[in-house]
Amino acid sequence: MARSLDLHALVDGILSSLVPQALPRQDDHEVLERNRAWLLSLEDELVALFYDTLYAYPTTAEVFVPGERTTREQTLRGWWQRTVGAPIDMDYFRWMGLVGIVHIKRKVTNPMMLSMLQVVSDHVVLRARSALGDAEATQLQQAFARISTTVGAIISETYTMSYVGALEDLAGLDPKLTARMLELEVKRLEQACRAQLG
């Protein structure tokens, strides 16, 4: 882990940056708990859907090495069981912070991650409409929206901060110097990109 990165402090900071209305609420926890057994029963079909989707799309299929699907499926099973099988708490959010770091290693980009959160969420809500009825499905949809937003924010921000932190460590850069270099370069990038837009 980067010298300049404290995972606990980073995840705390990300959560405090999210407006409270976007964070999972008590009724989100309750709807998950009420439907825990049903949600856990979706594991096999979700794992199949998840990896069928990734392997079917050339851009995402490229992140895998031959023969690793079984191992990756086990990892996803663990994620699903933890996500719907126990309360969403700080331990869970910190684990999601670690996922952001692992994604750098695995070359899983944030757009890939965010799009798959959407695929999972859509499938759960679709299945809930037929299995649990509209009212319960709507509550689950709202709960998954808030959880996905929070998890997506944590993973993407941890990804970015770890990426910068690793480069900082390698080059021996003071974080204040990195911030200054970014400030200078971003001005130039902004001008160049505005010119591209015309």
- The residues that touch another protein, with contacts defined as CB under 8 A, are 170-174, 176-177, 180-181, 184
Query: Which of 118, 191 has the CB closer to another protein?
Result: 191
Query: Which of 170, 197 has the CB closer to another protein?
Result: 170
Minimum CB separation of residue 168 from another protein in Å reads 9
Query: Which of 131, 181 has the CB closer to another protein?
Result: 181
DSSP the chain: --TT--HHHHHHHHHHHS-GGGS--HHHHHHHHHTHHHHHHTHHHHHHHHHHHHHHSHHHHTTPPTT-HHHHHHHHHHHHHHHHHS---HHHHHHHHHHHHHHHHHT--HHHHHHHHHHHHHHHHHHHHHHH-HHHHHHHHHHHHHHHHHHHHHHHHHHHHHHHHHHHHHHT--HHHHHHHHHHHHHHHHHHHHHHH-
Minimum CB separation of residue 184 from another protein in Å reads 6
Minimum CB separation of residue 50 from another protein in Å reads 40
Minimum CB separation of residue 192 from another protein in Å reads 15
Query: Which of 107, 180 has the CB closer to another protein?
Result: 180
Query: Which of 56, 170 has the CB closer to another protein?
Result: 170
Minimum CB separation of residue 181 from another protein in Å reads 5
